[in-house]
Chains A and B, each alone.
Chain A
Amino acid sequence: MDIPVIEAVDVNHFYEGQLGWNHALDHLSLTIRHNEFLCILGPSGCGKSTFLKIIAGLIQPSTGSVLLNDRPIKGPGLDRGVVFQDPALFAWLTVLRNVEFGLLMGGWKRHAARDRAMHVLEIVGLARQTSLYPFQLSGGMKHRVAVARAWALTDAALLLMDEPFSAIDAINRMALQDHLVRTWLTEQRTVLYVTHDIEEAVYLADRIVILKPSPGRLACDLRNELPRPRDRHSAAFLAVKSRVMEEMRRHGVTTE
Protein backbone atom coordinates (compact mmCIF):
# COMPACT_ATOMS: atom_id res chain seq x y z
CA MET A 1 0.00 0.00 0.00
CA ASP A 2 2.15 2.88 1.04
CA ILE A 3 5.33 3.64 -0.80
CA PRO A 4 8.41 3.86 1.43
CA VAL A 5 9.80 7.38 1.76
CA ILE A 6 13.25 6.12 0.94
CA GLU A 7 14.11 2.96 -0.86
CA ALA A 8 17.82 2.38 -1.23
CA VAL A 9 18.76 -0.69 -3.22
CA ASP A 10 22.27 -2.06 -3.40
CA VAL A 11 24.01 1.26 -2.84
CA ASN A 12 27.71 0.97 -3.37
CA HIS A 13 30.01 3.93 -3.02
CA PHE A 14 33.72 4.51 -3.44
CA TYR A 15 35.59 7.73 -3.08
CA GLU A 16 39.17 8.65 -3.82
CA GLY A 17 41.39 8.73 -0.76
CA GLN A 18 45.07 9.52 -0.34
CA LEU A 19 46.14 5.90 -0.82
CA GLY A 20 43.59 4.68 -3.34
CA TRP A 21 39.88 4.01 -3.39
CA ASN A 22 37.99 3.98 -0.13
CA HIS A 23 35.03 1.68 -0.03
CA ALA A 24 32.52 3.79 1.90
CA LEU A 25 29.35 1.77 1.36
CA ASP A 26 29.13 -1.88 0.41
CA HIS A 27 25.83 -2.89 -1.20
CA LEU A 28 23.62 -1.21 1.34
CA SER A 29 19.87 -1.68 1.03
CA LEU A 30 17.48 0.14 3.32
CA THR A 31 13.92 1.35 3.29
CA ILE A 32 12.51 4.11 5.46
CA ARG A 33 8.78 4.28 6.07
CA HIS A 34 6.52 7.24 6.57
CA ASN A 35 6.86 8.98 9.98
CA GLU A 36 9.64 6.70 11.07
CA PHE A 37 12.41 8.11 13.25
CA LEU A 38 15.38 6.12 12.07
CA CYS A 39 18.85 6.34 13.57
CA ILE A 40 21.84 5.10 11.68
CA LEU A 41 24.37 4.17 14.32
CA GLY A 42 27.97 3.35 13.70
CA PRO A 43 31.57 4.33 14.37
CA SER A 44 33.51 6.77 12.18
CA GLY A 45 34.26 5.38 8.76
CA CYS A 46 31.13 3.24 8.50
CA GLY A 47 29.78 5.37 5.67
CA LYS A 48 26.80 6.74 7.57
CA SER A 49 27.43 10.37 6.57
CA THR A 50 28.09 9.27 2.99
CA PHE A 51 24.71 7.55 2.92
CA LEU A 52 23.02 10.68 4.24
CA LYS A 53 24.76 12.85 1.64
CA ILE A 54 23.60 10.50 -1.09
CA ILE A 55 20.01 10.87 0.07
CA ALA A 56 20.47 14.64 0.37
CA GLY A 57 21.51 14.57 -3.29
CA LEU A 58 24.90 16.11 -2.56
CA ILE A 59 26.76 13.09 -3.92
CA GLN A 60 25.91 10.39 -6.45
CA PRO A 61 26.43 6.76 -5.39
CA SER A 62 28.94 4.80 -7.49
CA THR A 63 26.30 2.16 -8.21
CA GLY A 64 22.85 1.29 -6.91
CA SER A 65 19.69 3.32 -6.74
CA VAL A 66 17.94 5.45 -4.16
CA LEU A 67 14.29 6.31 -4.61
CA LEU A 68 12.57 9.11 -2.75
CA ASN A 69 8.82 8.50 -2.83
CA ASP A 70 9.40 6.20 -5.79
CA ARG A 71 11.36 8.76 -7.78
CA PRO A 72 15.13 8.73 -8.27
CA ILE A 73 17.06 11.47 -6.46
CA LYS A 74 18.56 14.07 -8.78
CA GLY A 75 20.49 16.57 -6.74
CA PRO A 76 19.51 18.42 -3.57
CA GLY A 77 16.01 19.82 -3.17
CA LEU A 78 13.35 21.17 -0.86
CA ASP A 79 11.64 17.79 -0.59
CA ARG A 80 14.29 16.96 2.01
CA GLY A 81 15.36 19.08 4.98
CA VAL A 82 18.97 18.78 6.03
CA VAL A 83 20.62 19.54 9.35
CA PHE A 84 24.39 19.55 9.10
CA GLN A 85 26.96 18.67 11.72
CA ASP A 86 28.25 22.24 11.70
CA PRO A 87 25.03 24.30 11.90
CA ALA A 88 25.98 26.08 8.64
CA LEU A 89 23.62 28.99 9.26
CA PHE A 90 23.68 31.94 6.90
CA ALA A 91 25.67 34.48 8.94
CA TRP A 92 24.17 37.40 7.00
CA LEU A 93 20.57 36.56 7.85
CA THR A 94 18.66 36.86 11.11
CA VAL A 95 17.36 33.75 12.84
CA LEU A 96 13.92 34.31 11.31
CA ARG A 97 15.29 34.82 7.83
CA ASN A 98 17.47 31.74 8.12
CA VAL A 99 14.38 29.68 8.88
CA GLU A 100 12.35 31.36 6.12
CA PHE A 101 15.09 30.83 3.53
CA GLY A 102 13.99 27.42 2.25
CA LEU A 103 10.32 28.39 2.30
CA LEU A 104 10.88 31.51 0.21
CA MET A 105 13.05 29.52 -2.19
CA GLY A 106 10.14 27.10 -2.49
CA GLY A 107 7.87 29.91 -3.61
CA TRP A 108 5.98 30.54 -0.36
CA LYS A 109 4.33 33.92 0.06
CA ARG A 110 6.23 36.20 2.40
CA HIS A 111 3.66 36.34 5.20
CA ALA A 112 2.93 32.60 5.03
CA ALA A 113 6.64 31.86 5.27
CA ARG A 114 6.94 34.22 8.21
CA ASP A 115 4.07 32.53 10.06
CA ARG A 116 5.46 29.08 9.44
CA ALA A 117 8.97 30.11 10.51
CA MET A 118 7.64 31.77 13.68
CA HIS A 119 5.64 28.65 14.49
CA VAL A 120 8.66 26.36 14.16
CA LEU A 121 10.87 28.76 16.11
CA GLU A 122 8.31 28.69 18.92
CA ILE A 123 8.43 24.90 18.95
CA VAL A 124 12.23 24.88 19.29
CA GLY A 125 12.03 27.58 21.97
CA LEU A 126 13.56 30.48 20.06
CA ALA A 127 10.54 32.75 19.67
CA ARG A 128 12.37 35.61 21.41
CA GLN A 129 15.57 35.34 19.39
CA THR A 130 14.08 35.75 15.92
CA SER A 131 15.75 39.06 15.14
CA LEU A 132 19.25 38.10 16.29
CA TYR A 133 22.09 37.25 13.95
CA PRO A 134 23.83 33.87 14.24
CA PHE A 135 26.91 35.33 15.97
CA GLN A 136 24.70 36.45 18.85
CA LEU A 137 23.53 32.90 19.60
CA SER A 138 25.06 30.24 21.81
CA GLY A 139 26.22 27.00 20.21
CA GLY A 140 23.09 25.14 21.27
CA MET A 141 20.81 27.86 19.94
CA LYS A 142 22.55 27.74 16.57
CA HIS A 143 21.84 24.04 16.33
CA ARG A 144 18.20 24.62 17.24
CA VAL A 145 17.97 27.20 14.44
CA ALA A 146 19.50 24.65 12.06
CA VAL A 147 16.87 22.11 13.12
CA ALA A 148 14.11 24.72 12.74
CA ARG A 149 15.33 25.68 9.27
CA ALA A 150 14.93 22.09 8.11
CA TRP A 151 11.77 21.42 10.10
CA ALA A 152 10.02 24.44 8.61
CA LEU A 153 9.90 22.79 5.20
CA THR A 154 6.42 21.31 5.23
CA ASP A 155 6.93 19.82 1.79
CA ALA A 156 9.97 17.87 2.91
CA ALA A 157 9.19 14.17 2.83
CA LEU A 158 11.99 13.55 5.26
CA LEU A 159 14.51 15.27 7.47
CA LEU A 160 18.15 14.30 7.32
CA MET A 161 20.29 14.97 10.35
CA ASP A 162 24.01 14.37 10.22
CA GLU A 163 25.24 14.11 13.82
CA PRO A 164 23.75 17.55 14.45
CA PHE A 165 24.62 17.68 18.16
CA SER A 166 27.93 15.83 18.21
CA ALA A 167 30.00 18.99 18.68
CA ILE A 168 27.95 20.08 21.72
CA ASP A 169 28.89 19.23 25.30
CA ALA A 170 27.04 16.30 26.88
CA ILE A 171 24.76 18.36 29.12
CA ASN A 172 23.54 20.70 26.40
CA ARG A 173 23.27 17.78 24.02
CA MET A 174 20.65 16.21 26.29
CA ALA A 175 18.67 19.45 26.26
CA LEU A 176 18.84 19.57 22.46
CA GLN A 177 17.68 15.96 22.23
CA ASP A 178 14.74 16.82 24.49
CA HIS A 179 13.90 19.73 22.19
CA LEU A 180 14.06 17.46 19.19
CA VAL A 181 11.79 14.85 20.77
CA ARG A 182 9.30 17.54 21.80
CA THR A 183 9.37 18.94 18.27
CA TRP A 184 8.82 15.50 16.82
CA LEU A 185 5.90 14.87 19.18
CA THR A 186 4.29 18.18 18.15
CA GLU A 187 4.71 17.48 14.49
CA GLN A 188 5.53 13.93 13.40
CA ARG A 189 7.93 13.68 10.50
CA THR A 190 10.09 11.07 8.84
CA VAL A 191 13.59 11.51 10.19
CA LEU A 192 16.88 9.94 9.23
CA TYR A 193 19.32 10.70 12.01
CA VAL A 194 22.97 9.74 11.81
CA THR A 195 24.92 9.33 15.04
CA HIS A 196 27.80 7.53 16.70
CA ASP A 197 26.24 7.89 20.16
CA ILE A 198 24.40 4.78 21.35
CA GLU A 199 22.43 6.53 24.07
CA GLU A 200 21.33 9.22 21.63
CA ALA A 201 20.09 6.58 19.20
CA VAL A 202 18.13 4.78 21.90
CA TYR A 203 16.71 8.05 23.19
CA LEU A 204 15.52 9.31 19.81
CA ALA A 205 14.79 6.47 17.42
CA ASP A 206 11.93 4.10 16.62
CA ARG A 207 14.34 2.05 14.65
CA ILE A 208 18.10 1.72 14.92
CA VAL A 209 20.21 0.55 12.01
CA ILE A 210 23.77 -0.36 12.94
CA LEU A 211 26.48 -0.07 10.32
CA LYS A 212 29.94 -1.54 10.56
CA PRO A 213 32.97 0.08 8.99
CA SER A 214 35.51 -0.62 6.23
CA PRO A 215 33.59 -1.07 4.05
CA GLY A 216 30.30 0.32 5.37
CA ARG A 217 27.81 -2.54 5.65
CA LEU A 218 24.53 -3.13 7.38
CA ALA A 219 25.12 -5.02 10.61
CA CYS A 220 21.63 -5.14 12.07
CA ASP A 221 18.28 -3.46 12.21
CA LEU A 222 16.45 -3.07 15.55
CA ARG A 223 13.05 -1.74 16.58
CA ASN A 224 12.75 0.48 19.63
CA GLU A 225 9.18 0.62 20.89
CA LEU A 226 9.78 2.56 24.13
CA PRO A 227 7.11 5.24 24.61
CA ARG A 228 8.18 8.89 24.38
CA PRO A 229 9.34 10.93 26.15
CA ARG A 230 11.86 8.40 27.34
CA ASP A 231 13.61 8.26 30.66
CA ARG A 232 17.34 7.77 30.18
CA HIS A 233 17.57 5.93 33.52
CA SER A 234 14.60 3.60 33.40
CA ALA A 235 15.26 -0.12 33.40
CA ALA A 236 13.56 -0.47 30.01
CA PHE A 237 15.78 2.20 28.50
CA LEU A 238 18.93 0.60 29.83
CA ALA A 239 17.74 -2.77 28.57
CA VAL A 240 17.40 -1.45 25.01
CA LYS A 241 20.76 0.23 25.31
CA SER A 242 22.49 -2.95 26.42
CA ARG A 243 20.76 -4.87 23.65
CA VAL A 244 22.17 -2.42 21.12
CA MET A 245 25.61 -2.80 22.61
CA GLU A 246 25.26 -6.57 22.60
CA GLU A 247 24.31 -6.53 18.90
CA MET A 248 27.27 -4.30 18.12
CA ARG A 249 29.59 -6.73 19.84
CA ARG A 250 28.00 -9.74 18.14
CA HIS A 251 28.44 -8.17 14.70
CA GLY A 252 32.00 -7.16 15.40
CA VAL A 253 31.30 -3.42 15.31
CA THR A 254 32.91 -3.06 18.72
CA THR A 255 35.70 -5.36 19.77
CA GLU A 256 35.46 -5.65 23.53
Chain B
Amino acid sequence: MNTIERIVTPFDVPPGYSREDFLRRMQLRNRRVRLRRLWRGAAGILAILLVWQAASRILGLELLLPEPLTVLRNVVTTLTVSDSHWLYGPNIYVHLWHSFLRAMAGFVSAALVAIPLGLALGRITTLREFVMPGIQGVYPIPGIAWIPLAILWFGLGDAAVVFVVFATVFFPLLFSAEAGARLISPTVLDAGRCFGARGVTLFFRVVLPATIPYIITGLRISLGGAWRMIVAGEMLASQDGIGYLLMESRFQFRAVDLMTAMILVAIVGYATEKLIVGTIEKRTIEKWEVQPS
Protein backbone atom coordinates (compact mmCIF):
# COMPACT_ATOMS: atom_id res chain seq x y z
CA MET B 1 0.00 0.00 0.00
CA ASN B 2 3.00 2.27 0.55
CA THR B 3 4.05 1.77 -3.03
CA ILE B 4 0.75 3.01 -4.37
CA GLU B 5 0.95 6.20 -2.40
CA ARG B 6 4.56 6.85 -3.28
CA ILE B 7 4.33 6.55 -7.06
CA VAL B 8 3.93 10.04 -8.46
CA THR B 9 3.20 9.28 -12.10
CA PRO B 10 -0.36 10.29 -12.93
CA PHE B 11 -2.59 7.43 -13.97
CA ASP B 12 -5.82 7.20 -15.89
CA VAL B 13 -9.17 6.56 -14.27
CA PRO B 14 -12.25 4.98 -15.87
CA PRO B 15 -15.21 7.37 -16.47
CA GLY B 16 -17.20 8.07 -13.32
CA TYR B 17 -14.29 7.33 -10.99
CA SER B 18 -11.66 9.52 -9.41
CA ARG B 19 -8.13 8.85 -8.26
CA GLU B 20 -9.43 8.91 -4.69
CA ASP B 21 -11.89 6.14 -5.56
CA PHE B 22 -8.99 3.99 -6.64
CA LEU B 23 -7.06 4.61 -3.44
CA ARG B 24 -10.18 3.90 -1.40
CA ARG B 25 -10.74 0.61 -3.21
CA MET B 26 -7.13 -0.37 -2.63
CA GLN B 27 -7.43 0.43 1.05
CA LEU B 28 -10.64 -1.54 1.33
CA ARG B 29 -9.08 -4.51 -0.38
CA ASN B 30 -6.02 -4.36 1.85
CA ARG B 31 -8.19 -4.22 4.93
CA ARG B 32 -10.18 -7.22 3.75
CA VAL B 33 -6.97 -9.19 3.11
CA ARG B 34 -5.65 -8.28 6.55
CA LEU B 35 -8.87 -9.32 8.28
CA ARG B 36 -9.01 -12.58 6.41
CA ARG B 37 -5.43 -13.38 7.36
CA LEU B 38 -6.19 -12.51 10.97
CA TRP B 39 -9.19 -14.77 11.40
CA ARG B 40 -7.60 -17.67 9.55
CA GLY B 41 -4.54 -17.45 11.78
CA ALA B 42 -6.76 -17.25 14.87
CA ALA B 43 -8.70 -20.30 13.71
CA GLY B 44 -5.47 -22.27 13.29
CA ILE B 45 -4.32 -21.39 16.80
CA LEU B 46 -7.75 -22.24 18.19
CA ALA B 47 -7.54 -25.68 16.57
CA ILE B 48 -4.23 -26.38 18.34
CA LEU B 49 -5.77 -25.31 21.66
CA LEU B 50 -8.75 -27.59 21.08
CA VAL B 51 -6.51 -30.60 20.43
CA TRP B 52 -4.59 -29.77 23.60
CA GLN B 53 -7.83 -29.42 25.57
CA ALA B 54 -9.15 -32.73 24.26
CA ALA B 55 -5.89 -34.53 25.02
CA SER B 56 -5.73 -33.31 28.60
CA ARG B 57 -9.42 -34.18 29.15
CA ILE B 58 -8.99 -37.67 27.75
CA LEU B 59 -5.78 -38.38 29.70
CA GLY B 60 -7.10 -36.72 32.83
CA LEU B 61 -3.61 -36.12 34.22
CA GLU B 62 -3.83 -32.57 35.52
CA LEU B 63 -0.29 -32.67 36.94
CA LEU B 64 1.38 -33.72 33.70
CA LEU B 65 -0.79 -32.13 31.05
CA PRO B 66 -2.87 -29.29 32.47
CA GLU B 67 -5.69 -27.83 30.41
CA PRO B 68 -5.02 -24.76 28.27
CA LEU B 69 -7.27 -22.58 30.38
CA THR B 70 -5.45 -23.55 33.56
CA VAL B 71 -2.14 -22.65 31.97
CA LEU B 72 -3.56 -19.40 30.64
CA ARG B 73 -4.83 -18.48 34.09
CA ASN B 74 -1.40 -19.33 35.45
CA VAL B 75 0.26 -17.09 32.85
CA VAL B 76 -1.91 -14.22 34.03
CA THR B 77 -1.27 -14.81 37.74
CA THR B 78 2.43 -15.15 37.07
CA LEU B 79 2.53 -11.93 35.10
CA THR B 80 0.52 -10.09 37.72
CA VAL B 81 3.21 -11.17 40.21
CA SER B 82 0.81 -12.89 42.53
CA ASP B 83 3.03 -14.92 44.87
CA SER B 84 0.37 -17.40 45.97
CA HIS B 85 2.46 -20.33 44.82
CA TRP B 86 5.71 -18.74 43.71
CA LEU B 87 8.62 -21.09 44.31
CA TYR B 88 11.32 -19.64 42.13
CA GLY B 89 13.12 -16.77 43.83
CA PRO B 90 12.68 -13.33 42.22
CA ASN B 91 9.50 -12.50 40.31
CA ILE B 92 8.94 -13.40 36.68
CA TYR B 93 10.01 -10.04 35.26
CA VAL B 94 13.42 -10.31 36.89
CA HIS B 95 13.88 -13.76 35.35
CA LEU B 96 12.79 -12.59 31.91
CA TRP B 97 14.87 -9.43 32.11
CA HIS B 98 18.01 -11.35 33.06
CA SER B 99 17.47 -13.83 30.24
CA PHE B 100 16.89 -10.98 27.83
CA LEU B 101 20.05 -9.18 28.91
CA ARG B 102 22.16 -12.31 28.56
CA ALA B 103 20.70 -13.13 25.16
CA MET B 104 21.30 -9.58 23.96
CA ALA B 105 24.84 -9.52 25.33
CA GLY B 106 25.69 -12.66 23.37
CA PHE B 107 23.78 -11.59 20.28
CA VAL B 108 25.13 -8.05 20.06
CA SER B 109 28.74 -8.98 20.78
CA ALA B 110 28.56 -11.77 18.19
CA ALA B 111 27.05 -9.39 15.64
CA LEU B 112 29.76 -6.80 16.24
CA VAL B 113 32.47 -9.37 15.56
CA ALA B 114 30.83 -11.66 13.01
CA ILE B 115 29.32 -9.11 10.60
CA PRO B 116 32.48 -7.04 9.91
CA LEU B 117 34.54 -10.21 9.80
CA GLY B 118 32.06 -11.87 7.43
CA LEU B 119 32.07 -8.87 5.10
CA ALA B 120 35.86 -8.82 5.07
CA LEU B 121 35.97 -12.58 4.39
CA GLY B 122 33.52 -12.16 1.53
CA ARG B 123 35.62 -9.45 -0.14
CA ILE B 124 39.22 -10.44 0.63
CA THR B 125 40.12 -13.76 -0.96
CA THR B 126 43.44 -14.13 0.86
CA LEU B 127 41.78 -13.68 4.23
CA ARG B 128 38.97 -16.05 3.25
CA GLU B 129 41.40 -18.79 2.28
CA PHE B 130 43.26 -18.48 5.56
CA VAL B 131 40.28 -18.21 7.88
CA MET B 132 37.26 -20.01 6.40
CA PRO B 133 38.48 -23.62 6.77
CA GLY B 134 39.09 -23.06 10.48
CA ILE B 135 35.67 -21.55 10.97
CA GLN B 136 34.00 -24.32 9.02
CA GLY B 137 35.83 -26.82 11.21
CA VAL B 138 34.47 -25.32 14.42
CA TYR B 139 30.96 -24.73 13.06
CA PRO B 140 29.63 -28.34 13.35
CA ILE B 141 30.11 -28.29 17.14
CA PRO B 142 26.60 -27.70 18.52
CA GLY B 143 26.19 -24.71 20.82
CA ILE B 144 25.10 -26.99 23.66
CA ALA B 145 28.40 -28.87 23.47
CA TRP B 146 30.14 -25.65 24.52
CA ILE B 147 28.24 -25.46 27.82
CA PRO B 148 30.45 -27.77 29.91
CA LEU B 149 33.59 -26.04 28.65
CA ALA B 150 32.05 -22.65 29.26
CA ILE B 151 31.25 -23.66 32.86
CA LEU B 152 34.80 -24.88 33.30
CA TRP B 153 36.22 -21.63 31.97
CA PHE B 154 33.84 -19.08 33.43
CA GLY B 155 32.14 -20.93 36.29
CA LEU B 156 28.37 -21.06 36.75
CA GLY B 157 26.84 -17.69 35.90
CA ASP B 158 26.32 -14.97 33.33
CA ALA B 159 29.64 -15.26 31.51
CA ALA B 160 29.19 -18.93 30.69
CA VAL B 161 25.66 -18.39 29.37
CA VAL B 162 26.62 -15.34 27.30
CA PHE B 163 29.53 -17.30 25.90
CA VAL B 164 27.39 -20.17 24.62
CA VAL B 165 24.96 -17.72 23.05
CA PHE B 166 27.91 -16.06 21.33
CA ALA B 167 29.28 -19.40 20.14
CA THR B 168 25.88 -20.29 18.67
CA VAL B 169 24.89 -17.11 16.87
CA PHE B 170 28.34 -16.19 15.63
CA PHE B 171 28.16 -18.65 12.74
CA PRO B 172 24.88 -17.78 11.01
CA LEU B 173 25.80 -14.09 11.27
CA LEU B 174 29.22 -14.68 9.79
CA PHE B 175 28.11 -16.98 7.00
CA SER B 176 25.30 -14.73 5.84
CA ALA B 177 27.50 -11.62 5.82
CA GLU B 178 30.23 -13.51 4.01
CA ALA B 179 27.89 -14.87 1.33
CA GLY B 180 26.30 -11.45 0.84
CA ALA B 181 29.61 -9.67 0.44
CA ARG B 182 30.98 -12.33 -1.89
CA LEU B 183 27.90 -12.22 -4.13
CA ILE B 184 27.61 -8.44 -4.58
CA SER B 185 27.02 -7.62 -8.23
CA PRO B 186 30.44 -6.86 -9.76
CA THR B 187 29.05 -3.89 -11.72
CA VAL B 188 27.68 -2.28 -8.57
CA LEU B 189 31.11 -2.62 -7.03
CA ASP B 190 32.72 -1.22 -10.19
CA ALA B 191 30.23 1.64 -10.06
CA GLY B 192 31.27 2.35 -6.47
CA ARG B 193 34.94 2.43 -7.44
CA CYS B 194 34.34 4.52 -10.57
CA PHE B 195 32.39 7.05 -8.52
CA GLY B 196 35.23 7.59 -6.12
CA ALA B 197 34.68 5.12 -3.27
CA ARG B 198 37.67 3.07 -2.23
CA GLY B 199 38.98 1.21 0.80
CA VAL B 200 36.99 1.86 3.94
CA THR B 201 34.61 4.23 2.13
CA LEU B 202 33.81 1.58 -0.47
CA PHE B 203 33.22 -0.82 2.40
CA PHE B 204 30.75 1.37 4.27
CA ARG B 205 29.09 3.11 1.33
CA VAL B 206 28.71 0.15 -1.04
CA VAL B 207 29.64 -3.26 0.37
CA LEU B 208 27.72 -2.89 3.63
CA PRO B 209 24.43 -1.53 2.22
CA ALA B 210 24.54 -3.95 -0.71
CA THR B 211 24.86 -6.82 1.78
CA ILE B 212 22.06 -5.69 4.13
CA PRO B 213 19.44 -8.17 2.80
CA TYR B 214 21.76 -11.06 3.64
CA ILE B 215 22.74 -9.57 6.99
CA ILE B 216 19.07 -9.29 7.95
CA THR B 217 18.54 -12.96 7.17
CA GLY B 218 21.52 -13.74 9.41
CA LEU B 219 20.16 -11.54 12.20
CA ARG B 220 16.79 -13.24 12.06
CA ILE B 221 18.22 -16.75 12.22
CA SER B 222 20.70 -15.89 14.96
CA LEU B 223 18.22 -14.02 17.14
CA GLY B 224 16.07 -17.14 17.21
CA GLY B 225 19.20 -19.16 17.96
CA ALA B 226 20.20 -16.80 20.78
CA TRP B 227 16.85 -17.21 22.43
CA ARG B 228 16.95 -21.01 22.13
CA MET B 229 20.47 -21.15 23.50
CA ILE B 230 19.72 -18.88 26.44
CA VAL B 231 17.20 -21.40 27.71
CA ALA B 232 19.62 -24.31 27.37
CA GLY B 233 22.46 -22.35 28.95
CA GLU B 234 20.41 -21.19 31.91
CA MET B 235 19.10 -24.67 32.60
CA LEU B 236 22.62 -25.82 33.32
CA ALA B 237 24.70 -22.84 34.33
CA SER B 238 22.49 -20.25 35.97
CA GLN B 239 20.65 -19.49 39.18
CA ASP B 240 17.99 -17.34 37.53
CA GLY B 241 16.48 -16.59 34.17
CA ILE B 242 13.76 -18.28 32.18
CA GLY B 243 15.82 -21.44 31.59
CA TYR B 244 16.44 -21.81 35.31
CA LEU B 245 12.71 -21.34 35.86
CA LEU B 246 11.93 -24.16 33.43
CA MET B 247 14.32 -26.59 35.07
CA GLU B 248 13.21 -25.62 38.54
CA SER B 249 9.52 -26.19 37.70
CA ARG B 250 10.42 -29.72 36.72
CA PHE B 251 12.05 -30.25 40.13
CA GLN B 252 8.91 -28.86 41.76
CA PHE B 253 6.82 -31.21 39.59
CA ARG B 254 4.70 -28.31 38.32
CA ALA B 255 3.95 -28.81 34.64
CA VAL B 256 1.67 -25.81 34.75
CA ASP B 257 4.58 -23.49 35.63
CA LEU B 258 6.76 -25.21 33.05
CA MET B 259 4.24 -24.55 30.32
CA THR B 260 3.76 -21.00 31.51
CA ALA B 261 7.48 -20.41 31.20
CA MET B 262 7.46 -21.95 27.72
CA ILE B 263 4.66 -19.66 26.59
CA LEU B 264 6.53 -16.65 27.96
CA VAL B 265 9.66 -17.73 26.09
CA ALA B 266 7.61 -17.81 22.89
CA ILE B 267 6.08 -14.39 23.50
CA VAL B 268 9.30 -12.64 24.41
CA GLY B 269 11.18 -14.32 21.54
CA TYR B 270 8.55 -13.24 19.03
CA ALA B 271 8.45 -9.72 20.39
CA THR B 272 12.23 -9.30 20.33
CA GLU B 273 12.42 -10.50 16.76
CA LYS B 274 9.66 -8.15 15.63
CA LEU B 275 11.19 -5.27 17.52
CA ILE B 276 14.81 -5.65 16.47
CA VAL B 277 14.85 -7.33 13.07
CA GLY B 278 11.49 -5.85 12.09
CA THR B 279 12.73 -2.34 12.76
CA ILE B 280 15.93 -2.81 10.80
CA GLU B 281 13.95 -4.34 7.97
CA LYS B 282 11.51 -1.46 7.80
CA ARG B 283 14.29 1.08 7.57
CA THR B 284 16.25 -0.78 4.89
CA ILE B 285 15.07 -3.49 2.56
CA GLU B 286 11.39 -2.66 2.80
CA LYS B 287 12.18 0.88 1.73
CA TRP B 288 14.51 -0.21 -1.06
CA GLU B 289 12.49 -3.29 -1.98
CA VAL B 290 15.50 -5.52 -2.44
CA GLN B 291 15.76 -9.21 -1.66
CA PRO B 292 18.72 -11.53 -1.31
CA SER B 293 19.37 -12.73 -4.85
Contacts and interface: CB of A to CB of B under 8 A. Distances in A.
Nearest to A78: B196
Contacts of A58: 190, 193-194
A19 interface: no
Given A88-B185, A90-B206, A128-B8, A105 B196 contact: yes
Interface in B117-147: none
A80 interface: yes
A90 B196 CA distance: 14
Contact of A105 (B8, B188, B195): B195
B interface residue count range (under 10 / 10 to 19 / 20 to 34 / 35 or more): 20 to 34
Interface in A18-46: none
Interface in A100-157: 101-102, 105-106, 128-129, 132-136, 149, 153
B251 to A, nearest CB: 52
Interface in A53-96: 56-58, 75-78, 80-82, 84-86, 88-92
Contacts of A135: 288-290
A88 to B, nearest CB: 4
Contacts of B205: 101, 105
Contact of A88 (B7, B191, B289): B191
Given A91-B288, A105-B201, A128-B8, A136 B3 contact: yes
A92 B209 contact: yes
A91 B3 contact: no
Q: Give the most central of B8, B194, B210: most A CB within 10 Å.
A: B194
Nearest to B290: A91
Contacts of B8: 128-129, 132
A92 B212 contact: yes
Contacts of B195: 78, 82, 101-102, 105, 149, 153
B279 interface: no
Given A91-B210, A92-B212, A105-B196, 16 more contacts: A57-B194, A80-B194, A82-B194, A84-B187, A84-B190, A88-B187, A88-B191, A90-B191, A92-B210, A92-B284, A106-B196, A129-B8, A132-B8, A133-B287, A134-B288, A135-B289
Interface of B: 3, 6-8, 185, 187-188, 190-197, 201, 205-206, 209-210, 212, 284, 287-290
